[in-house]
Every structure is written in structure tokens, then in C-alpha cells.
Copies of this chain bind each other. A is one copy, B any other.
Amino acid sequence: MDINLARTFLMVAETGSFIDAAHRLNITQSTVSARIKGLEDLLGRPVFERSKSGADLTAAGEQFHKHALALVRVWQRAQLEVSLSDQHRDHIAVGAPATLWHGALLKTISKLRTDTPDIAISATAAVQDVLTQRLIEGTLDLAMMYRPIQPPGHTVEHLFDEEFVLVTSARTAPKKGSSDYVFINWGSDFQRDHAAAYPELIKPGLSLDLGSMPLEYVLANELSAYFPMRVVKPYLSRGRLKQPKRARRFVYPVYLVYPEARDEDAYDPILDMLRRECGRYATD
């Protein structure tokens, strides 16, 4: 797959014509035709509907359009960034799902600021797949996450187990499948197990991927949703939230993920702080 196939595709999509695309790209119409045919062979589907009036995108073509843009963009970005690759990175980037930022991780960040004021820190809340991706590509130095797919070249270290419980702010007991249930995206493991436990809720009416926002939303709207026990415990104690009887619980181990090849002087103080802070969450 050559990027030029994507560029040719995009030009035909833009002009609506093989001939016009050929003019813009300084190649012949038969070259455009051959390239689009080659692309269609690779994808296994036609991307244009040809006619006397030119070429229109098929459904597959419309689907491919964004990928073609992405391919061109990734390659352009690669060329740019490689040319700037001598720049030095002097900060540490830490990431975790929004849930895990409650408590220990944020406290550790605070302590790090105090103890090592010359190291800049950037903190990111994102979903697990994004975190894994950024670890792989090197834009994240350390992550805390639920059971990760082990990124190549990284150590995965168990910290504690996180329990997800169903809670509701409604005054009457909610029924599963009713519109007061909100699915919150706690990661792919949760999504899978949740789908297995509640097959009828595979497609809830509302799903949220909003960091810490969901708790406020659930509290304000008499909804029910799954949350980590660690987070909702104070609200349960105060009666703001209730646990419905006989709801499934999900338990997921939480891990630290960091590079095998690392500057131990920089990493070890952080890792040690996190191990200590998370000690309190150890169960049984």
C-alpha cells in the first residue's frame, strides 16, 4: 500500500473525476485508473462508482476517506517530527483512566511537585486503549491502568484490586434495562464483562466517557451506574447513593506500567511513592 494510492483516492474524491484528478496530480488518466483499481484490489471493494459524469464515492469509499486522510497525515507528521527529533524531553508524562486519578495517583503527583520541583509533570486522564497506545509511542512515561495488554518493552506491576459496584441516586430501586441506567466506559475489560453479565444492556441508551463527570451527573439525575467502590464509599455512607440488591460486582486488578529500559533514578522515587500510597487499597 503506497501513500500515493491514498493521495490519488483523495484527489478523485475531491474533484469527482479521474481526468481532473490526473491533471491536478500531473499524471495520466490511465495512471489514476490503474491506481484506484490497485487500491480497490487491496481493499477488496470498489471505492468509486464510475459513470459518464465522473466518479462518486461508494459506501466503502466514504468509509475509506477518513483513513486515506489519516495515512497522508500520519506520514506528513512523521516527516515533520523526525526532522525535529533532536529535541530533548525533560518532563514526565503520567496517565491513568479518570477513575484512578482519585486518591493515590494525584497525591503522588502533589508530592512529586514538592520533592522534585525541577521535573515537569503532565497528567492525562484517558481510556486504557489510548494510554497503551501512548506508552507504545513513547508520549507517556508511566501509566496506571486496569489489566493492560502488556506493551512491548514495558513492565507491568500489580498494585491493588479495584471493585466496581452498581449504585443509584434514585429513591426507588431501578430496573435493569430501564432508561435510568447509564453505561460508563471503564475500559474494555469492564465493557466485555458487563456485556456478558447484562446481555440486554449491550447497547444502553446513554454511555459516558467523561472522566470524573459521571458521578456528578448520576447524583444530579437520579440515575444508576457502575462506579469503583473506592470512589463512591463516602456517598454510600452519607446516603446520597444506594446499592441495589443482587447487582453484579466486578473486580479488576490495577497495575503500574512503565518502560523496562528506564532511568531508574528518575522512576524509582515515583514508583515507590505509588506503591506506598496504594498499599491502603490492598484488599484481603
Chain A residues at the B interface, C-beta cutoff of 8 Å: 1-4, 14, 42-45, 47, 58-60, 62-71, 74-75, 77-79, 81-86, 91, 98, 101, 106, 109-110, 113-114, 117, 120-126, 136-139, 152, 179, 185, 203-213, 216-217, 221
Report whether B2 and A221 are in contact in the complex, using a CB–CB cutoff of 8 Å.
no
Give every chain B residue within 8 A of A47 (Cβ-Cβ).
Answer: 82
Contact: A179 with B117, CB < 8 Å?
yes
B213 lies within 8 A of A136 (CB): no
A63 CA / B81 CA spacing, docked (Å):
7
Q: In the complex, how many angstroms separate the beta carbon of A225 from the nearest chain B beta carbon?
A: 13
- CB A5 to nearest CB in B, in angstroms, measures 10
A136 x B66 contact (CB < 8 A) = yes
Query: Cβ of A209: which chain B residues have Cβ within 8 Å of it?
Result: 122-125
CB distance from A143 to the nearest CB of B (A): 13
21 of the cross-chain contacts (CB-CB < 8 Å) are A1-B75, A2-B2, A45-B83, A45-B85, A47-B82, A63-B138, A65-B138, A66-B139, A67-B74, A67-B75, A67-B77, A67-B78, A70-B74, A71-B71, A74-B74, A91-B203, A98-B211, A101-B210, A109-B206, A211-B212, A212-B216
Q: Which residues of B contact A86 (CB under 8 A)?
A: 59
Taking the closest CB of chain B, its distance from the CB of A169, in whole angstroms, is 14
